Structure 1
Amino acid sequence: MLPLPSAQQLRYLIALSELRHFGRAAAACAVTQSTLSAGIMALERQLDAQLLDRTVGKKVVFTPLGHEIAAKGRHALEALEAVPQLAAAARTPLTGPLRLGVIPTIGPFLVAPLVKTIRTRFPQITLSITEDTTEHLLEKLALGRLDILVLAMPCLCDGTETIPLWRDPFQVIMPEGHPLASLSHVPVERLEDQRMIMMEDGHCLREQTLAVCRQGRGWDSAEDEGDSTFTATSLHTMADMVELGLGIGVVPALATEGGLLQNHKVIMRPLSGGPVWRTIGLAWRPRSPRAADFHTLATAFSALAPHKEHTALTPE
């Protein structure tokens, strides 16, 4: 009988395949880079096969066979990890560890009610929370380091199963005395020629804001932003910059209704015209043995919408 790869060896190989960087892959597996490298070399010796092309210098390049084995290994590891999860879910649903990821434009305004809901309704769940950008959370989900994500859609969520919870309308914030403050609603076309403050690269809210701006400004690409924008690392920093008169910003209702503008001398107006919202939703790995639990959580989380009229998307 041929010797089988260990689960740890497969984790190393899959992490390297996903991240294409030895240091990041080692960090994702919570081991040193030398340990990860040695583990993959041991797997190559065990299989008597070359999985990495080491003739290209420091770049991580998989051989065709390496690509195929990494893909097979991913499915094998998912199936192996599903065995104890399936048994645990069958014994008692909605119990045990739940590793949840949340993005920074949702976390500060939703984590508190979310934790309260879990503690009240599902006290047997042991919750841990990671806040990070969408890209990094999806990486951790694919590597099995997280179980479920709270995201803002649309996003590049390929390879996950998703369920929408509610629409989160966009609003415009501006300094006091701004010409747009006289309007009850700000049409997207009125964003033309405005100096915008947006989230920095890596935040999905930036791409969602650019999509809104393109409706009224005819932008074809991110390059069309030119010098018309400032960037912020958080929504709180954005509110500070708006108050200082550096520009206007597009923010989600979840944030404004969660206290973002407290102690800020800024004006808020709803945005109108076209699709002017994001969708709060959940994502998890396909074929997860805990899918039934996640659907139950989705139903509970949908009740956390700031206003009932925003709950246009009811989980089935």
Structure 2
Amino acid sequence: MITLKQLTYALAVDKTKHFKKAAEMCSVSQSALSTAISELESQLGIQIFERDTKRVLTTKVGEDLLEKARDIKIRMDDLYQLSKRQTSPLNHPLSIGVIPTIGPYLLPKVLPEVRKQYPDLELTILEEQSHVLVEMVKNGDIDAGILALPYPLDGLHAFEFWQEDFFMVAHNTDSHAQQVEITSDEIRETRLLLLKDGHCLKEHAMAACKLQATEGGSYSMSGASLYTLIHMVAGRMGTTLVPQMALDQLIIEGSELKAVHLDEPGPHRTIAFITRLNYAGVKDIELLMNIFREQLKKYCTEH
């Protein structure tokens, strides 16, 4: 009889392409994992993996089987989680992914209150770019993700909980630094520094400013993080755009940097939880969203 454990082991091998690493991921011995997969192949009468001393390859029929196995495991995990959540909310392990342009600025504002209200919550946070989080949620590697919309979600469900605008950050010697508002046309007059390709913040910032990638090189310089860009601005190398929730951490009081609100129709980006369509922990996500929303409102009131 095929077991969920066998399928879990096979999925781990498919992910790592390595029996030893898969065994470590599943917290079992390599021999136990290898035996379980051999039994699975024997029961099904197919070869799932081609292996030799140097590499592991998933066969074509193995890929088809593991696609179905992945769906089975996700549904079983959701079933177990559903039973746990009937006792009390947020008292069980929960894994959430967050993108780098949200995590460092959102989590310090909201997690202390989450811990205060739900001290028994076992929360695991990981940071990845949007396309990685979408795949991890879809494959059941994490329970939920937090990212900025708009973004293609590939059939996942989005629970929006916050909207915000962008601010241009400039050195106080910049001709636009003393303004209260700045338009897209005025931003075109500056050397706008943006994150490298692959960060959705770059796309959202360009969309908010009505900028096209073919317009020229005024914003072609890219950094690896918002902190990098802020240091470049402090060095008078240009200006950048940052979301409102990041201002208090990126601009220190008394610094030579100034934040000017982008005077273009907003909100400029929307923050949302993403989950699978049939995810069993929707009520837990709703509880977290309410806390996040209230703490962000508090932050905006105080700043």
TM-score, normalization by structure 2: 0.81
Report the CA distance between 1:155 and its aligned residue: 2.2
2:225 alignment counterpart: 234
| Cα distance between partner residues in 1 of 2:57 and 2:147 | 30
Question: 1: CA distance between counterparts of 2:193 and 2:77?
Answer: 44
- In the alignment, the residues of structure 2 paired with residue 159 and residue 77 of structure 1 have an alpha-carbon distance, to the nearest angstrom, of 18
Corresponding residue number in structure 2 for 1:150: 146
Checking the alignment, whether the CA contact within 8 Å between 2:167 and 2:262 is kept in structure 1 is yes
Distance 1:27 1:283, change over 3 A: farther
1:285 corresponds in structure 2 to 276
**Contact 1:162–1:281 (CA<8 Å) still a contact in 2?**
yes
Instruction: Verify the 8 A CA contact 2:145 2:273 in the aligned structure 1.
Output: yes
What SS is found at the alignment partner of 1:202?
coil
Give the match's secondary structure for 2:295.
coil
Residues 1:101 and 2:97 are matched in the alignment: yes
User: How many residues of Structure 1 are paired with residues of Structure 2 in the alignment?
Assistant: 294
1:157 aligns to what SS in structure 2?
Answer: coil
What aligned pairs does 1:259-274 form with structure 2 within 5 A after superposition?
259-262=249-252, 264-274=255-265
**Which one-letter code corresponds to 1:93 in the other structure?**
P
For 1:5 and 1:211, locate their aligned partners in 2 and report how far apart those are by CA, in whole Å: 49
**What secondary structure does 2:176 align onto?**
helix
Question: Taking structure 1 as reference, are residues 231 and 27 closer, same or farther at Cα in structure 2, changes over 3 Å only?
Answer: farther
Aligned partner of 1:203: which letter? Answer: H
- For residues 90 and 11 of structure 1, what CA distance do their matches in structure 2 show? 29
Partner of residue 167, structure 1: 163
Residue pair 1:13, 1:70 contacting (<8 A) in 2 also? yes
1:302 is the counterpart of 2:293 = yes
Q: In structure 2, do the counterparts of structure 1 residues 14 and 201 end up closer, same or farther at CA, with 3 Å as the change threshold?
A: farther
Rounded Cα–Cα distance in structure 2 between residues aligned with 1:92 and 1:11: 31
| Residue 6 (structure 1) shift | 3.6
User: 1:180 aligns to what SS in structure 2?
Assistant: coil
Does structure 2 conserve the Cα–Cα contact (< 8 Å) formed by 1:176 and 1:267?
yes
Q: Which residue of 2 aligns with 1:211?
A: 207
1:177 aligns with 2:173: yes
State the superposition RMSD in angstroms: 3.5
Matched with 1:30 is: 25
Identity fraction in percent: 25
Residue 313 of structure 1 corresponds to none
- The Cα offsets for residues 23-57 of structure 1, whole Å up to 9 and x where unpaired, read as 7xx5798269xx69967676444422355799xxx
Q: Is the 8 A contact 2:192 2:238 kept in 1?
A: yes
Give the structure 1 partner of residue 46 of structure 2.
Answer: 49
The answer to whether the 8 Å contact 2:172/2:257 transfers is: yes
Task: Classify 1:218/1:28 alpha carbon distance in 2 versus 1 (closer, same or farther; 3 Å).
Answer: farther
Q: Is 2:12–2:26's contact at 8 Å kept on the other side of the alignment?
A: no
Counterparts in 2 of 1:186 and 1:235: CA distance versus 1, 3 Å: same
TM-score norm. by structure 1 comes to 0.78
Summarize deviations over 1:168-202 as a string: whole Å, max 9, x none.
Answer: 21110112221222432111232225322112233
Is the alpha carbon distance of 1:14 and 1:161 closer, same or farther for their aligned partners in structure 2, counting shifts above 3 Å?
farther
1:113 aligns with 109
Displacement of 1:75 after TM fit? 2.1
Of 65-74 and 124-133, deviating more is 65-74
Q: Could you tell me whether the CA contact under 8 Å between 2:9 and 2:22 is conserved in 1?
A: no
Residues in 2 aligned to 1:172 and 1:11: alpha-carbon distance in whole angstroms: 49
User: What is the rounded CA distance, in whole Å, between the counterparts of 1:41 and 1:247 in structure 2?
Assistant: 59
User: Larger deviation: 87-96 or 273-282?
Assistant: 273-282
How far did residue 281 of structure 1 move?
1.4
